[in-house]
Amino acid sequence: MAETIEVRLPETTPDVTESLVVFWHRMEGDWVEKGEVLLEIQTEKAVFEVEAPADGRLTKILVKRGEVAAVGDVLAIIEPVSGALSAQQVDDGETAEQAAEQVAATVTTQKADPVSPLSVKASPRIRQMAKEMGVDLATVVGTGPGGRITEDDVRNAANRVNVAAPGDESTSGSSSDGDIAELTAVRRTIAKRMVQSLQQSAQLTITAWADVTELAEQRKQLESPVSWTTLILRAVVLALREHPYMNATWGEQGILQFRHVHLGVAVDTEHGLLVPVIRNAEQFSLSDLQEIVNQAIKKAKEGKLSAEELSGSTFTVSNLGAYGIQFFTPILNPPEAAILGVGQIEPRTVLEEERLTLRERLPLSLTFDHRVTDGAPAARFLQSVVQFLRNPDTLF
């Protein structure tokens, strides 16, 4: 009998040591083909696919959905086709080659029409999801094309089961006070990184108003539209060039000040918070920066960002102005030394030369690592951002 084959967690990027299993596309006992996607893993907010290394039967899944594994850990066991054949009963008149053809036909049939003995129309991914959520697919009415069962169908069925028989509140999908929302892979990653950020740095937030009256007027006169996010990013880049100690990270051997500005831009997506990185942002003109930012935001919302596009930032900007927020306390994106929070622009009436004048101001919140720098240098950096925004000619 041939030796079994181990499916191990691959190294996705050099700085990542562990990943979260997001979903298994196959169940134990399924036939798989070399190169087909077995599972999805989550690392640093990016999702990767792990393929089957050989043809055969998936005999054992060792790391379940929602569990974390380290690089090199065994995720599953595959019994290769040759080994599986030895366990099959071959008729006296049937050759091993004919048996192999039968195995291949079985695999193809399962992939083309993955149905159960009860003829339930559901993909292997939906079957695995139902198994993990305790749902009997034979009792579910599919609402997908041709009556196929969808993820929503399984979730709705699971909710009905939980309501009918809540059981132990710690493990069911509901409690006496409400429903328990499932933890997504992105949510788990965000939670882990934010707790790590607060535990491993000395964070302090300072705030300031930026007068953007002239900038708002000049922005209206531009032939090509430029977003407020892009203008703020441009001001941050210029301020970081004047105050490089803010474009840094803490290390036990010393503080590393980066030569280039790799800007992280926090983007709210339906899957959770993602932070695409604009590399070498100091090299781009305002128009180029606008185009790059638009592309990054679009890819983030479509879930098409690669791991490289989500890693390596040296400073992050988080804009909550669209939600009517003023000042807030953004949490550092480790291992960065600072993050700038941006609020909503608001009108303000001021007295200038004995006349009431309407001005526009922008709230800014700077969180920084007090291990890397002190309050006064951080304040000087924030004031530089304010000055660049106040004088729009410096941004163009």
pLDDT value at residue 185 = 66
pLDDT value at residue 83 = 56
In sequence order, the 6+-apart residues with CB closer than 8 A to the CB of 12 are 19, 41, 43, 46, 48, 307
CATH class of 189-394: alpha beta
Q: For the beta carbon of residue 41, count every other beta carbon within 10 angstroms.
A: 23
Residue 374 designated active-site: yes
pLDDT value at residue 254 = 95
Which entry of 73, 268, 271, 370 is annotated as an active-site residue? 370
Rounded to whole angstroms, the Cα distance separating 125 from 38 reads 10
Helix (H, G, I), strand (E, B) or coil at 234: helix
pLDDT value at residue 315 = 98
| pLDDT in single tens digits along all 396 residues of the chain | 568 999 999 988 766 788 888 888 888 888 999 999 899 887 765 778 899 999 999 999 999 987 889 999 999 999 997 655 544 444 444 444 554 555 555 445 444 444 433 346 777 678 777 877 778 887 788 888 777 788 888 888 877 755 544 444 444 455 567 888 877 767 777 888 899 899 999 999 999 999 999 999 999 998 888 999 999 999 999 999 999 999 999 998 999 999 999 999 999 988 788 999 999 999 999 999 999 999 999 999 988 888 889 889 999 999 999 999 999 999 999 999 999 999 999 999 988 888 999 999 999 999 999 999 999 999 999 999 999 999 999 998
Q: Which residues pair with 214 in a beta bridge?
A: none
pLDDT value at residue 99 = 47
pLDDT value at residue 120 = 64
Q: Does residue 9 contact residue 41 with C-beta atoms inside 8 Å? A: yes
CATH class of 5-163: mainly beta
Burial class for 365, CB neighbours closer than 10 Å (0-12, 13-18, 19+): buried
Which entry of 243, 369, 374, 393 is annotated as an active-site residue? 374
Question: How is the chain split into domains, by residue range?
Answer: 5-163, 189-394
pLDDT value at residue 306 = 83
pLDDT value at residue 87 = 43
pLDDT value at residue 88 = 45
Residue 113 designated active-site: no
**For the whole prediction, is pTM greater than 0.85?**
no
* CA-wise closest residue to 76 among 116, 152, 25, 120: 25
